[in-house]
Structure 1
Amino acid sequence: MMTDYLLHKTVISVPGCGIQIVLGLGLGGTECILLGLMSYGHYVAIYNPPLYLLIMNWPLYRQIVVSSWTSDSLNALIHTVYPMSFHICENREIHHFYCELPGVLRFSCEDTLSYETGVLISTTILLLIPFSVILASYTLILITIIQMAPTEGQKKAHSTYSSHLTVVSLYYGAIIFMYVRLISSHASGQDKVVPVFYTILTPMLNPVIYSLRIKDVMGALGKVLWVCSLYSKI
């Protein structure tokens, strides 16, 4: 996508479009699963820190990464190969800033209702399971924090879950709005704006949101803002 913008390209091949779809679905779905697993990890870390160190080890990390990538790569491949076989009408202009599934299905001449229903069901299941884990984990985290004495540990717990919850809210909110309904009911304007949140905005903010918990990063950010304010007064 960045290459197309830099080279001012407005044409993409069918295989290139398919690659963008499979990467978008694969990376997006994998992040959904990992966000759900991270929320459970945060609950264990806050509820019982010694247990966290015992359970969360490198073999488990590898299993989580491999299983997340494998399961969602298969899901993304299925949802890319099938729609790319649809017959394309004469109008092949995608009203989107990259090849995403809703945009591609718009110029198909075939009846895609049954396929859209399948996408709706699979996406709902894919989002519902990790989202349920997130809701359960943060409910238990909130209960645990309320029961804590107002100490440094409570502040650290607030910092741990608040940054992750910010990312979850931005990411899941946009994806649920985009995919948990029939694609044919989408408005073209929404299809252009909403994906910006989970393809560009949230990934761009991830390092900032997670890093703001570190005192050194907060100090460096304060210095940068102070210097910028001085230059703005000159």
Structure 2
Amino acid sequence: MLFDLVKKDFILAKKYWLLMLIFVTGAPIYVETQTHAMSGGLLGFLVTVLLAEYMLFNSVSISEDKYKGAALLSATPYTRKTLVKAKYLFIAGIFIGCYILYTITAFLLPDYIVMLNLLTLGISFLTVTVYYGVIVPLQYRFGYEKVRYISFFAIFAVPFLFPYIWKRIQSRTIDWQTMFLFPPVIQEFLPFFLALLIGLISMAVSIRIYSQKDL
């Protein structure tokens, strides 16, 4: 039942599939060539996945808001808890799809983009989780119309702010591994653990909000 709901979201966003396929394949190449691959693939992949997530998630939210999808789904056998879980799985599914496409592109065109290492992938996943960990509960609480401007400005600020932040980080001679007392292997997996924790907390908050909401 849960995966049927995730499939439903992907079907609602089907008109953007071809556009997203072209964008997710081409955007990392453009970003990385412009930055001379100084971020090890992080900037190209992160900007791409954030924009892809925004476009697909936003298209589903528009459809559900326009056709009163929440009210209609509440009349089905699906529980509100299941509906919320499906929304988070949809976001995770987009991330996985973007990573697969990026990896295929990096394999075919190694001169333009590099393969992501575990830490870079974890930082990207953590960033996406933090963003949607805030946006999704807000959307359940206040509705799509009231939250869409916040999400719009936040998501499109990333491509402008991240290069500046990255340059500032690179300008400082910081040994990141010595800042943490964990072994290198744990440091590589730490962003995934944090993302999982944040995602579970956000999901619990969203379930609580949605279960008490009058549709």
Say which one has the larger Rg: 1
- TM-score w.r.t. the length of structure 1 is 0.29
The answer to which structure, 1 or 2, has the higher relative contact order (CA under 8 A, 6+ apart) is 2
